[in-house]
Chain A
Amino acid sequence: MPHSAKERARIVTIKGSTVEVRGLSSYRMGEITYVGEEKLIGEIIEIERNFATVQVYEPLEGLKINDPVYPTGKSLSAELGPGLLSNIFDGIQRPLEQIKKILSSSFIQRGIHINALDRYKNWLFEPNKDLTKGHLVKGGDVLGSVQETETIKSNIIVPPNTNGELLSIQEKGEFKITDPIVELKGSDKEKKELTLMHEWPVRVARPFLKKLPVSEPLVTGQRIIDMFFPITKGGTAAIPGGFGTGKTILQHQLSKWSNADVVIYIGCGERGNEMTDVLREFPKLVDPHTQNPLMDRTLLIANVSNMPVAAREASIYMGITMAEFYRDQGFNVLLTADSTSRWAEALREIAGQLEEMPVEEGYPAYLGARLANFYERAGQVVTIGSPYREGSINITAAISPPGGDFSEPVTANTKRFVKTFWGLDSNLANRKHFPSIDWLNSYSGYIKVIEEWALEANLEDWGRYRQEMFTILQKDDELQHIAELIGSKALPADEQLIILVADIIKEGFLQQNAFDKIDSFCPIEKQMKMMKLMLLFYNRAEVLIKNGCPISLIIGLKTVQILKRMKEDVQNDNIIQMNKIEDYIHTDMEELGSKYGYKV
């Protein structure tokens, strides 16, 4: 017999960020439960006989045994609808600007119950003209649209798993987010009202029609990524690196400059000032692909390092659910999370409180499964509903391995599920070579895809340039080992040339200063041209060397300096100047040749 519903649900144990609860009338995994008089928000994560363990998203100080617990019947859900973009939320989707207003304080207090989406704001809804009374609509169908920000026109869609016969749809007009805009008659003959928003449980992946193979690059404007280790719309990438190696800056760069439609940035257990930095800087920046304000396409989640650890665990799911929501509208979404290690540590901490058996370095056995689940929610898909739409989610996440050691569990497990790996190297970072992506130790699983794309995009030289540059860098690595023993002076001239050109590539191409006005974003055309010029320099110099030209004359050429500086010195759209540099190279080489009688 179920125990009496009259038995009051109450706290029996308080420990870390969890409480044990007894006396609920039913026990459902994942149910949101309010804890204590202040109704702190928690979620049931374990059930044993007639006890439930609730992880609480707020600090537990002040709670007592026997304090009341209130079940809600709901799962941890995200509110989805217009008003998410250009906003900043905490790990359980409470809007931080609103919290500030309500508390009129610069500090976050607990026990605040507040909706993610503004209930009072009016949105101009334009109905989908193809819909008429009697139409059968199903999950994912577009009901109409709302201009959410200057950049983003959001599709208002039927929530997944909902269908019925259209009874009425509102004319074009202003509506609040909870106003009914559509009335349906369900198969059960019940009337249903749909609004501009709906809710979705964050731990459940939103459905799609089918996954597609990825096909297009996510252009980032970062040379080492676009040219050497590219990612795609719908792809996955991991950025592991010790502290100070440049993970956050790289993620900021991707969020600023990549050609995604929507960017979701999750600050998961990292610094408060880094979120402030984004809030301060993004509104001033312009999307180089659309010329629109950058903040218009951006959504931030900030669960910084001194905010409750359980909410850190939730923040990742909040983020990916919102990403799926924009994907379902037909957008290409970039989701970037800094850092998944802090998320994994939150899992570890909570597992410890549940006295689960740790496997590796204290992490629970399901670490790999949780990571897999998360990365599985990336991809390029055909969405549900009509009209036909494709959308994608790219997940690019930072990992903070203890001691910068990539063999630790989070890095090792993540490697199994991501296609692209940008390993950041402390030695490069220490010498201020940024981005400190180690070109010998990183990889992209999308080279084939991008090669095909490049052919169609009239960038047919991409693959060849990339290969030639790679070969130089690889040879350079071998030569460096030898030079460390005998000095580069003792190497033959053609090998010294390789070291010189590799140096030009490293400094002039791979290094990219995020804080330089020009260099921060490098368009693909300029990237290609830069490669071309560097390889031209190499090929022409190689001929000179073969004909006996001493390497010192080549090292001393002014063009070496020009090649290293063109990334910052030449405006991104100044093709004329790039062509001039090409001329310099020819002139320099020919001069050397004619002056000293070498064949060129």
Chain B
Amino acid sequence: MARITVRGVSEIRGPIIIIEGVTGIRMGEYLEVNLPNKPSRKGRVLAIEEERVIILLYQGTYELEKDEIETEFFGRTMQLFVAEDMIGRVFNSQGEPLDGLPSIYSDEYRDINGSPINPTSRIYPRDYIETGISSIDSMNTLVRGQKLPIFTGAGLPNNLLIGQIVKQARIAGAEGADKFAIVFGAMGLTMDDYIYFQRLFEETGTLNKVVMFSNLASDSAAERLITPRVALTTAEYLAFDKGYHVLVILSDITNYCQALREISVALETVPSRKGFPGYMYSDLASIYERAGIIEDSKGSITLLANLTMPNDDITHPIADLTGYITEGQIILDRSMHNRGIYPPIDVLGSLSRLMKDGIGEGYTRKDHPSLSNQLYASYAEGLDKRRLAEVIGKKELNRRDQILYEFADKFEDNFVNQGDNYRSIVDSLNLGWSLLSNLPETELTKVSEDLILEHIKNKGADSD
């Protein structure tokens, strides 16, 4: 498509420039602003009003000369060249190499915004991923093709947890396990965190399986809006064209949303809650919904995302809207963390919506669904008793309440708290039963008599 070049702009406002008196410009098109002796800046057409073109510049407008700059419109949307040799490489948000190696040359390129998957083409995800972490595998099972954020707070060990998952994760029925890749989208990450992930990939020997897209805290905020999109475009190519099982890690969604707010304020859109734009739900959905599995393709995209809740507030719009889109969430709990429990997973607040079809007979183990229901229920009751004891004192609890109180403690200390160790899913389930064996049988209302017989009564007899 013919390129159009224009000199000068009429307005500069935050990351936005406005060019007037130009025709033939396309909505959403990609452009570059050329500066003398400096790298060019990239942008996107956000709106066109007659001969006024409103443009977002990803690298901002600092030091732009109103009448000097030259804008080159490409006549197409932003594209990313994709290839299998991206694996093992590090790029910035535009897909330019940051590792000193040459650029990617490929015949294949993709629009970074992708297209929605036809719901009739999706395969419903059912194969669980064993993470080796009890509170995930037994209570909030992760499934291949799922999108699952980690709701965390400042200073909580969410990165450690992701690290542990990367180290330990095994995919059930891992046919073609060699076709595994990680796509990492760093969005406004601090240098420390960035280095942590780089080390993690080195130490786990996955570095040669990772494609990294890096937008650090010091990089431009506007550019952050494209980081997850280039990451997912790459993931789609690897998963759906090349058959890889791709784990996409995005960190941190909160930084992304703040960038989104910044831009929307510059555009003077009507804000909804806390100044975030009303379209944030749709915008986030256009990222998260790219995870999944489709027909006629061997690969899959599983998405894990860090989301730091401002002030640990789960009702904050970023966490809230995310929860409404993703297929569950893992919540980290500050008070458990303060008590030295690792991973400090809030088992009850967390949720895996795809768990229901990924567990049980033929998937994990027959007893898994009712066992986890019993553990949730007894743990929830135990926490009630803990709250009660805080008011009336533990001694005032009746016998039943005391037993439940102690169950909650044991559940946290022995089941949730597992440190940096790997536990197979079978070990986790068995551990669950052994905790339940501390409860009187009248409390076991979520599990059938047969299961009680099999996993508690006969077990006890065996070990005697």
Question: Do A and B belong to a common assembly?
Answer: yes
A interface residue numbers (CB < 8 A to B): 12-16, 59-66, 88, 96-97, 99-100, 105-109, 242-244, 267, 269, 271-273, 275-277, 279-280, 302, 304-307, 309, 342, 345, 348-349, 352, 358, 361-362, 400, 402-405, 430-432, 483-490, 507-508, 513, 515, 555-556, 558, 560-561, 564-565, 568-569
Distance in angstroms from B357 CB to nearest chain A CB is 8
The 10 lowest CB-CB distance pairs between A and B, nearest first, are A403-B315, A305-B285, A106-B121, A61-B28, A243-B323, A431-B380, A275-B119, A107-B115, A306-B289, A276-B122
Since A60-B28, A275-B119, A309-B279 are in contact, a sample of 5 more A-B pairs with Cβ atoms closer than 8 Å, ordered by chain A residue number, is A61-B26, A62-B26, A106-B117, A271-B289, A403-B315
Max count, chain B CB within 10 A of own CB: residue among A275, A276, A280, A307: A276
Q: How far is the CB of A401 from chain B (nearest CB, A)?
A: 9
With an 8 A cutoff between CB atoms, is B356 at the interface?
Answer: yes
Residue of B whose beta carbon sits closest to that of A563:
B445
A358 to B285, CA, bound (A): 24
A-B contact pairs, 14 of them (CB 8 A): A15-B47, A15-B49, A61-B113, A62-B29, A62-B77, A105-B121, A106-B296, A244-B351, A269-B285, A272-B122, A304-B285, A307-B116, A489-B397, A561-B444
Chain A nearest CB: distance from B457 CB in Å? 15
Q: Any chain A CB within 8 A of the CB of B338?
A: no
CA distance A342 to B442 in the complex (A): 44
Smallest CB separation, A8 vs chain B (Å): 15
Measured as residues with beta carbon below 8 angstroms from the partner, the interface class of chain B is 35 or more
Closest CB in chain A relative to B337 CB, distance in Å: 19
Q: For residue A241, give the distance in angstroms from its CB to the closest CB of chain B.
A: 11
Interface pair A272/B27, CB less than 8 Å apart: no
With A13-B49, A400-B324, A430-B348 already in contact, the answer to whether A273 and B292 are too (CB < 8 A) is yes
* Minimum CB distance partner of B123 in chain A: A276
**B388 / chain A contacts, CB cutoff of 8 Å:** 483-484, 487
Residues of B within 8 A of A483 (CB): 388
Q: Is A64 a contact partner of B25 (Cβ separation < 8 A)? A: yes
For A273, give its contact among B48, B124, B278 (CB under 8 Å). B124
In the complex with contacts A64-B24, A271-B289, A349-B279, A16-B47 CB distance below 8 A: yes
Q: Say which residue of A14, A277, A486 sits within 8 Å of B392 (CB atoms).
A: A486
Q: Which of B120, B329, B397, B445 has the most CB of A within 10 A?
A: B120
A-contacting residues, B334-375, CB 8 Å: 348-349, 351, 353-354, 356-357, 369, 373
Contacts of A558 in B (CB 8 A): 442
Quote the shortest CB–CB distance from B194 to chain A (angstroms).
29
Residue B19 at the chain A interface, CB threshold 8 Å? no
In the assembled complex, the CB of B81 is this many whole angstroms from the nearest CB of chain A, namely 19
Comparing B58-66, B90-98, B266-274, B406-414, the segment that makes contact with chain A is B266-274
Q: Quick one: which of A12, A107, A348, A361 contacts B118, CB cutoff 8 A?
A: A107
Residue pair A305, B327 in contact (C-beta under 8 Å) = no
Which of A243, A273, A489, A564 has the most B CB atoms < 10 Å from its CB? A273
**Cβ distance B139 to chain A, nearest Cβ, rounded Å:** 10
Q: Is B40 an interface residue (CB 8 A)?
A: no
CA of A244 to CA of B76, assembled, Å: 39
Task: Judge if B160 is at the interface, Cβ distance under 8 Å.
Answer: no
Q: How far is the CB of B206 from chain A (nearest CB, A)?
A: 27
Given contacts A63-B26, A432-B376, contact A515 B47 (CB under 8 A): no
Complex CA gap A283/B279 in Å reads 35
- Are the CB atoms of A361 and B445 closer together than 8 Å? no
B240 within 8 A of A: yes
Q: Is the CB of B25 within 8 A of A279?
A: no
User: Which A residues lie within 8 Å of B125 (CB)?
Assistant: 273
Residue on A with the closest CB to B296?
A106
B21 CB to nearest A CB, Å: 12
What residue of chain B has the Cβ atom nearest to residue A309's Cβ?
A: B282
* Contact of B193 with A by CB under 8 A: no
Query: Which residue among A358, A430, A486, A555 has the maximum number of chain B CB atoms within 10 Å of its CB?
Result: A430
**Closest residue of chain B to A16, judged by CB?**
B47
Tell me whether B269 and A432 are in contact (CB under 8 A): no
Q: Which A residues lie within 8 Å of B396 (CB)?
A: 486-487, 489-490
Instruction: Answer whether residue B320 sits at the interface, using C-beta atoms and an 8 A cutoff.
Output: yes
Q: Which of A100, A272, A405 has the most CB of B within 10 A?
A: A272
Asked if B295 is an interface residue, CB under 8 A from chain A, the answer is yes
Query: In the complex, which residues of chain A have a beta carbon less than 8 angstroms from the beta carbon of B327?
Result: 271, 273
Give Cα distance in the complex from A507 to B373, angstroms.
Answer: 12
Distance (whole angstroms) from the CB of A105 to the closest CB of chain B: 8
State whether A106 touches B397 (Cβ < 8 A).
no
Question: Which B residue's beta carbon lies closest to that of A62?
Answer: B26
Cβ-defined contact, A277 with B124, below 8 A: yes
Contact indicator A14/B27 (Cβ below 8 Å):
yes
- CB of B99 closer than 8 Å to a CB of A: no
**Chain A residues in 8 Å Cβ range of B320:** 242-243, 402-403
Is B400 interfacial (CB-CB < 8 Å)?
yes
Q: Is the CB of A404 within 8 A of B445?
A: no
Establish whether residues B373 and A106, one from each chain, have CB atoms under 8 Å apart when the complex forms: no
Which residues of B lie under 8 Å from residue A242 when comparing CB positions? 320, 323
Closest to B323 in A: A243
Bound together, the chains give a CA A394 to CA B121 distance in angstroms of: 30
Cβ A507 vs Cβ B445 within 8 A: yes
Residues of chain A within 8 A (CB-CB) of B448 are: 565, 568-569
B445 contacts across to A, CB distance below 8 A: 507-508, 561, 564-565
Which of B228-249 touch A at CB < 8 Å? 240
Instruction: Give Cα A496–Cα B296 distance, bound, in whole angstroms.
Output: 60
B282-306 contact mask (Cβ, 8 Å, vs A): 1 or 0: 1001100110101111000000000
